[in-house]
Amino acid sequence: MSYLLRLEERPFPPDENPRERASFYDCFPFEYPAWGGGNFREPCLRLRTASGGGCCELFYEKHRIFPGKPPLEGLPAAYGGPEECATLEITLRDPALDVRVDLLYTVFEDVDAICRSVRVENGGREALDLSTVLSAALELDNDGFDLITLHGSWAREQTIDRRPLSPGRQGAYSLRGISSHQFHPFLALCEHTATQDQGLAYGMSLVYSGNFLAQAEVDQFDRVRAVLGIHPEGFQWRLEPGASFQAPEAVLVCSEEGLGGMSRSFHDFFREHLIRGQKKHRPTLLNSWEACYFDFDHERLLQLGRSAARYGIELLVVDDGWFGRRNDETTSLGDWRVNEEKLPGGLKRLGEELADLGVGLGIWMEPEMISPDSDLYRAHPDYAMAIPGRAPTLARNQLVLDLTRKEVRDCVYRQIGQVLRSAPIRYLKWDMNRPLVDVYSPSLPPERQGETAHRYVLGLYELQERLVTDFPDLLLENCCSGGGRFDPGMLYYSPQIWTSDNAEAVDRLVIQEGTSLVYPLSAMGAHVAVCPSHINGRVTPFQIRGRAALPGCFGYELDLDKLTEEEQALIPQQLEEYRQYGPLFRTGDCYRLASYRENHTYDAFLCVSKDKSLAAVSFLQVRSRAYRRSLRLRLAGLDESILYRRRDTGEVRSGAGWMRGGLLVEAVQSDYLSVLVTLEKIQR
């Protein structure tokens, strides 16, 4: 770490000079700032006592260091054994309120990351109301930092935004009950001169899937306080005497190798210490959605399965429409029973017939939702979230189930389990297609309604924990109307997430660049979709669509039989490339060489195996570079002393030669060009 507290400045502590108390709190860099006493910047902890007081002052009490890392009750969290990591626990206390705050810091042997979490306990005799409990603060001198956040909307998630820090508060947030398409639970601070491969960069990521605040504040003394945690807006948690509250975990990384170094630290951390299913096989798949939407029956799906089998695609995923009376989006969510008019013999028959073809079965579900036109709603309208005296707010013709209630969770899970046990289902896509609006639960008294949004997320985590425990061989892919809940909390339960409903290749270059700033390529669902695109109408060559999807978890969102003969002839090549390069992309170190988002012309990245013996370069040109000479891509991440052979041409150079001399991409007067190059170590 390059930044230390400026201890040469006398802080005038208030125990020596009480009249400077407010000045001290206004400028001192706190490790975990609480509200009151003159702290006018964003606090990490804010509470209210029974008498209405809101001040809290935390003082060091003790600390301990122990091997390993404890789990967090009810929350996803990083893992590591005693030989992999060690944890520092610092205990703070407010002696007037008898409030205890435990700050946990875990460091890992194999990755440059620190996990931070916070636990607040009420040791007093009266109940307290917590209104802010953030997970981490980072206080720095502002040495010309830029702020990086990820923003977007449906079909254009995870767009990188970089701008100089300015006085005041700035950052990202969600109040939608989900981490959201609009912003992402992440921020980075980097030197203004930082590039992909050099310069200082700090990254903060929150292991949480609900409302969040990721904020950097520049104060009057040009110092920065960056905070991350559950958004205080609408949040309130009643803490009875003896009770405690556990905040979600934050992951912090620091890199002096630029944004690329920051990204690779996040990638390694998530792969090795958060994603429990990282090493699960990622099958190639064919999804039925853009192939036929709701318009299918048993024979139609079986024909898709035959087409998949012909090319060696491993899995057919039956998307929306297989249950209840679901022929459009207006009905049947919550009725997770097979529609046997569409599928005689149910999913069991379909799965068995697909298995005879050598193709596995996957399904789509939206377990958190309920349709007003459903048997479940007619029997239990109270299961849907609604504010008393107001008509519930429909979105996409559906309401949200109240997952804060155990009986609702049990009802949902019972149906999921029955479906999964009824057929040879290998994959489940868990979707969620709307935000939380009517945030109210009759299971909580009026003074505790501020707990509802967080308790919803805890209920979701409980459901998915039960699912991966009871069905350990199931491949779970999370989805939230695309990338609306692509966050570390979800990755704890599912090793991959559907990156965006927009699978069009050119738009995906921008979406996948932003996603890979924080997450490993192994986490991104990426498919070849219908053309012209159902999202933006763009016509993109089939080869380009395949190469754009290659880095992620590969599949198709179309009817293979409707492709041209030339396109069908490319499918075996695409599948072979995924089998060849997929393991490297999933486990290697990723280096960004060029950004289509920045240059609006071409995109390029490089993946290098951990032992430096194998590398792959992907180059995609979207627009013709009129009257340009050949392009030289400066490679990165290779071992300078190793000799590498270019597989397609036989050219041999040292790692230093490839990195300094670069890879030449010949100028082609075409709007679309794709180049995929392999470099392999020469065995001496």
Secondary structure (3-state) at 318: strand
Query: From CA 224, how far away is CA 598, in angstroms rounded?
Result: 27
Q: Which of 223, 142, 229 is nearest to 186 (CA)?
A: 229
Secondary structure (3-state) at 409: helix
Query: From CA 650, how far away is CA 645, in angstroms rounded?
Result: 6
Those residues whose C-beta lies under 8 Å from the C-beta of residue 336, and which sit 6 or more positions away, are: 323, 324, 365, 367, 415, 416, 418, 419
Which residues on neighbouring strands pair with residue 644, listed in sequence order?
653, 681
Task: Given the residues 219, 268, 487, 501, select the one marked as catalytic.
Answer: 501
HEC string for 520-547: CHHHEEEEEECCCCCCCCCCCCHHHHHH
Q: Which helix (H) or strand (E) holds 580?
A: helix 565-587
Which DSSP letter does residue 16 get?
T
Instruction: With beta carbons less than 8 A apart as the criterion, state whether 426 and 409 touch.
Output: no
Which residues on neighbouring strands pair with residue 139, listed in sequence order?
225
The single residue listed with the structure tokens 């029956």 is 297
Q: What is the DSSP string of 454-511?
A: HHHHHHHHHHHHHHHHH-TT-EEEE-BTTBTT-SHHHHTT-SEEE--S---HHHHHHH
Query: From CA 51, how far away is CA 48, in angstroms rounded?
Result: 8
Which DSSP letter does residue 679 get?
E
Task: Given the residues 402, 431, 507, 603, select the one marked as catalytic.
Answer: 431
CA torsion 11-16-19-22 (nearest 10°) is: 40
Instruction: With beta carbons less than 8 A apart as the criterion, state whether 232 and 445 touch.
Output: no
320 tagged catalytic: no
Which DSSP letter does residue 47 get?
E
How many CB atoms sit inside 10 A of residue 219's CB?
A: 18
Instruction: With beta carbons less than 8 A apart as the criterion, state whether 181 and 130 touch.
Output: no
Query: From CA 230, how far away is CA 227, in angstroms rounded?
Result: 10
Q: How many helices (H) and strands (E) does the chain have?
A: 14, 34
Tokens of residue 28, six digits: 């001192």
Query: From CA 49, how far away is CA 193, in angstroms rounded?
Result: 46
Tell me the C-alpha to C-alpha distance, in Å, between residue 41 and each of 53, 218, 532.
18, 9, 50
84 phi, psi to nearest 5 deg: -105, -25
15 tagged catalytic: no
Compute CA 95 distance to the chain's CA centroid, rounded to the nearest angstrom.
Answer: 39
Q: Which helix (H) or strand (E) holds 134?
A: strand 128-141
Cite the beta strand spans of 366-473 per DSSP E: 369-370, 399-400, 425-430
Query: From CA 572, how far away is CA 553, in angstroms rounded?
Result: 16
Q: Which residues are catalytic?
A: 431, 501
